[in-house]
């Protein structure tokens, strides 16, 4: 298998030390990471230390595991001493939960949560704390490595008060004093802990002498600080594999700058993967103009099956055409190119979510009831596995009043009950779950009763901090769809009626490949992807990176549809040499 790797990929395979892998779209990041992992574990002799392969979502981690299995053939589940999982679960499990008690008030084991399920009574909340929504969103507040207090990506600005300690900071302290840490704070907590106890940092470095981080452009400043400390504390090899041009998770604190700093840092070796297995050279030539690292001065090399596809990307200029007209035009073009029209081959992408009549904003009053409702749908019409997973997650929140990732959840379940009893309990909920053909309001009512009964029968106690009537609840009124409560639950989860092709937001297709992609830019105005943004916008901004992710998905046909705009033909990014201009 190894001989199939490109020269660039081989360089990564044999590299050691501190290494950044700057990888272009379609360069086989997951494939290369899987090979790298196998290169270690094939000859691994140490029982007490292992390789950690980290990514940002469970889906991405599973992909690496699956890829490794496909390459190897007879690998089996990769377990101790190695670890394949998310950056969050690595930090939580191996640092915060294992050593966190060293650094909490009264030395309690920290509790990690995603949302504030405690809602502690706190008398000093001012009116504006309510009206600005700060109270209900306390999980969005956190301290940065720079000691500033943040809400989302911005330092907290509370113009109404100049107190030394803001109410939100005071509330945060109350939670911290009880050992409660939000998921977005665990990296900072871990960083401070490792700084204070260098022995802990050395112990972790010894436990994981090799750390590989995939999609490393999505690392936050705080997470990178943790890995920097580990690297200084004895980790033998650390690999950051990513593409800064594809960082589209700023709202989750992803900081592509951290990744770029490592590329600049001479103490890190940089390896570039510039061969694109996915797209044609014609597509690579065009997309290079929208990449901050290439800036149209050079292109990635198309090296895959469709590298010589002659069809140039199409710039379709529209004039008040309906969306359907635009899509029809695109589909016709796909057919001309003999591309089979299927969701696997063809994708229509827009920015943001796709709305339909049953998209009722704020429908579910808690994450738990939404998970149960989805589970009910999956149980009857979709995947039983998904139904089980959703029910398990929601039930865990109901019983333990904690919202955490899968890995942590399983640890705690094992601590408190037997796996068998827990499984029976979840299955019991699913067997008794009301039918999704029921009207949604009725369904929620019925489910509440059934849930309480099943808990009683299976001898599981609902957390005293969970009020059934507040948790199993849906919105009261909706101006746009006043009769929404009468719609059957089934209708809310039925797939949008797009069997012919994939229709998705750009975030939804990150990491995917299609034969043909239509990126539909609908409007000239707004803080979204507009013709003006594409023509002259800064390349180092998230909207541009979103456009880049979209444009780098197709193998053969990229069509960009947008309103005809003055000056487009003279704009370097849309040169007639690279694009075929068509009008609708």
Through-space distance between the first and last CA atoms of the chain, rounded to whole angstroms: 47
Min separation Cβ 255 and ligand ATP, Å:
18
Q: How large is the C-alpha radius of gyration of the chain? A: 25
Nearer Cβ to ligand ATP (10/178): 10
Binding residue per annotation — 30?
yes
- Selected from 18, 22, 29, 333, the binder of ligand ATP by CB under 6 A is 29
Structure tokens at 225: 């600080």
Q: Could you give the string, one character per residue 457-496, with x where binding to ligand ATP holds by CB under 6 A and - elsewhere?
A: ----------------------------------------
Binding residue per annotation — 505?
no
Residues binding ligand ATP: number (CB under 6 A): 18
The stretch among 3-11, 263-271, 331-339, 396-404 that binds ligand ATP (CB under 6 A) is: 3-11
Nearer Cβ to ligand ATP (68/327): 68
70 binds ligand ATP (CB under 6 A): no
User: Distance between CA 347 and CA 134 in Å, rounded?
Assistant: 38
Binding residue per annotation — 198?
no
Q: Are strands 18-23 and 269-273 parallel, antiparallel or unpaired?
A: parallel
User: Quick one: DSSP state of residue 92?
Assistant: I
23 binds ligand ATP (CB under 6 A): yes
Q: In the sheet that 154-155 helps form, which strands lie side by side, from edge to edge?
A: 141-143, 149-151, 154-155
Q: What single string gives the DSSP state of each residue in 290-338?
A: G-TTTTTTS-PEE-STTTT--PPPEEEEESS--HHHHHHHHHHHHHHTT
CA-based nearest residue to 488, from 352, 395, 381? 381
Binding residue per annotation — 27?
yes
278 binds ligand ATP (CB under 6 A): yes
User: Distance between CA 239 and CA 82 in Å, rounded?
Assistant: 16
The stretch among 4-12, 400-408, 477-485, 523-531 that binds ligand ATP (CB under 6 A) is: 4-12
User: Distance between CA 548 and CA 544 in Å, rounded?
Assistant: 6
554 binds ligand ATP (CB under 6 A): no
Q: Could you give the string, one character per residue 246-265, with x where binding to ligand ATP holds by CB under 6 A and - elsewhere?
A: x-------------------
In a 10 Å sphere around its CB, with 0-12 CB exposed, 13-18 middle and 19+ buried, how is residue 418 labelled? exposed
Q: Which residues contact 95 (CB under 8 A, 6 or more apart)?
A: 186, 190, 193, 194, 200, 204, 226
Q: Could you give the string, one character per residue 81-120, with x where binding to ligand ATP holds by CB under 6 A and - elsewhere?
A: ----------------------------------------
In a 10 Å sphere around its CB, with 0-12 CB exposed, 13-18 middle and 19+ buried, how is residue 301 labelled? middle
28 binds ligand ATP (CB under 6 A): yes
- Selected from 9, 65, 89, 291, the binder of ligand ATP by CB under 6 A is 9
556 binds ligand ATP (CB under 6 A): no
26 binds ligand ATP (CB under 6 A): yes
The stretch among 22-30, 192-200, 441-449, 465-473 that binds ligand ATP (CB under 6 A) is: 22-30
The sign of the CA dihedral 206, 207, 213, 217 is negative
Q: CA geometry: angle at 244 spanning 243 and 245, to 5°?
A: 90
The stretch among 1-9, 37-45, 344-352, 453-461 that binds ligand ATP (CB under 6 A) is: 1-9
Contact residues for ligand ATP, defined by CB under 6 A? 4-6, 9, 23, 25-31, 243, 246, 277-278, 511, 552
Residues belonging to the binding site are 23-30
């Amino acid at each position: 298998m190894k001989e199939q790797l490109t020269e660039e990929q081989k360089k990564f395979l044999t590299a050691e030390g501190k290494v950044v892998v700057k990888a272009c779209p379609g360069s086989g990041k997951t494939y290369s990471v899987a090979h790298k992992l196998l290169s270690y574990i094939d000859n691994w002799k140490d029982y007490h230390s292992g390789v950690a392969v980290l990514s940002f979502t469970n889906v991405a981690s599973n992909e690496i595991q699956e890829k490794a299995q496909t390459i190897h053939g007879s690998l089996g589940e990769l377990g101790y001493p190695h670890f394949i999982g998310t950056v969050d679960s690595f930090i939580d499990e191996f640092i915060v939960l294992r050593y966190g008690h060293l650094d909490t008030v009264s030395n309690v084991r920290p509790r990690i949560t995603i949302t504030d399920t405690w809602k502690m009574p706190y008398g000093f909340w001012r009116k504006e704390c309510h009206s600005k929504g700060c109270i209900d969103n306390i999980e969005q507040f956190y301290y940065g490595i720079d000691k500033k207090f943040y809400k989302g990506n911005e330092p907290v600005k509370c113009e109404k008060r100049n107190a030394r300690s803001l109410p939100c900071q005071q509330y945060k302290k109350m939670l911290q004093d009880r050992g409660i840490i939000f998921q977005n704070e665990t990296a900072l907590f871990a960083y401070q802990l490792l700084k204070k106890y260098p022995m802990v940092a050395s112990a972790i470095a010894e436990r994981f002498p090799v750390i590989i981080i995939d999609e490393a452009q999505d690392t936050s400043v705080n997470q990178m600080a943790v890995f920097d400390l580990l690297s200084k504390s004895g980790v033998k090899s650390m690999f950051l594999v990513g593409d800064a041009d594809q960082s589209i998770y700023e709202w989750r604190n992803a900081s592509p700058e951290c990744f770029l700093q490592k590329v600049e840092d001479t103490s890190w070796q940089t390896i570039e993967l510039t061969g694109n297995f996915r797209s044609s050279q014609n597509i690579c030539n065009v997309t290079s103009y929208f990449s901050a690292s290439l800036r149209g001065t050079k292109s990635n090399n198309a090296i895959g099956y469709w590298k010589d596809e002659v069809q140039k990307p199409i710039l379709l200029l529209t004039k008040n055409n309906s969306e359907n007209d635009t899509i029809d035009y695109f589909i016709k073009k796909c057919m001309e190119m003999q591309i089979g029209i299927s969701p696997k081959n063809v994708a229509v992408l827009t920015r943001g979510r796709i709305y339909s009549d049953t998209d009722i904003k704020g429908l579910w009053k808690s994450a738990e009831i939404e998970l149960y409702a989805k589970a009910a749908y999956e149980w009857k019409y979709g995947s039983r596995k998904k139904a089980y997973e959703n029910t398990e997650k929601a039930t865990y929140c109901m019983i333990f009043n904690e919202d955490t990732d899968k890995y942590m959840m399983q640890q705690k379940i094992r601590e408190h009950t037997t796996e068998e009893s827990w499984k029976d309990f979840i299955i019991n909920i699913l067997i008794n779950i009301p039918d999704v053909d029921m009207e949604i309001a009725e369904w929620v009512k019925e489910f509440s009763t059934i849930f309480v009964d099943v808990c009683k029968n299976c001898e599981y106690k609902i957390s005293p901090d969970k009020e059934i009537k507040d948790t199993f609840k849906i919105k009261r009124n909706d101006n746009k769809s006043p009769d929404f409560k009468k719609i059957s639950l089934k209708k809310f989860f039925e797939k949008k009626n797009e069997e012919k092709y994939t229709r998705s937001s750009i975030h939804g297709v990150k990491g995917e490949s299609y034969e043909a992609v239509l990126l539909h830019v609908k409007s000239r105005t707004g803080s979204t992807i507009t013709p003006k943004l594409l023509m002259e916008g800064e390349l180092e901004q998230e909207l541009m990176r979103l456009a880049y992710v979209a444009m780098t998905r197709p193998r053969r046909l990229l069509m960009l549809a947008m309103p005809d705009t003055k000056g487009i033909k003279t704009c370097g990014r849309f040169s007639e040499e690279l694009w075929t201009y068509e009008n609708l």
